[in-house]
Amino acid sequence: MPATLTRRTFAWVAAVSPVMLAACSKTPSPAPSAKQVDLLVESNGDLLEFTPKDLTCHAGDLVRLTFRHTGKYVSFEHNWVLIMPGSFDQITAAAAAAGESKGYLPVGDSRILAFTPMCRRGQAAITQFTAPKAGDYLFICTFPGHAQSMWGILHVLPKAA
**Chain positions contacting Cu ion, by CB under 5 A:** 78, 141, 143, 146, 150
The CA distance from 158 to 60, in Å, is 9
Q: Smaller CB distance to Cu ion: residue 115 or 143?
A: 143
> Under a CB-based contact definition with an 8 Å cutoff, are residues 141 and 150 in contact?
yes
With CB atoms as reference, the residue minimizing the distance to Cu ion is 141
Determine the longest span between alpha carbons in the chain, in angstroms: 69
- Tell the smallest beta-carbon distance from residue 86 to Cu ion (Å): 21
- Tell the smallest beta-carbon distance from residue 33 to Cu ion (Å): 35
> Under a CB-based contact definition with an 8 Å cutoff, are residues 150 and 78 in contact?
yes
Q: Smaller CB distance to Cu ion: residue 48 or 62?
A: 48
> Under a CB-based contact definition with an 8 Å cutoff, are residues 58 and 159 in contact?
yes
Query: In this structure, are strands 151-157 and 54-58 parallel, antiparallel, or unpaired?
Result: parallel
Q: Smaller CB distance to Cu ion: residue 27 or 101?
A: 101
Length of the chain: 161
- Tell the smallest beta-carbon distance from residue 71 to Cu ion (Å): 9
Q: Smaller CB distance to Cu ion: residue 60 or 71?
A: 71
- Tell the smallest beta-carbon distance from residue 109 to Cu ion (Å): 18
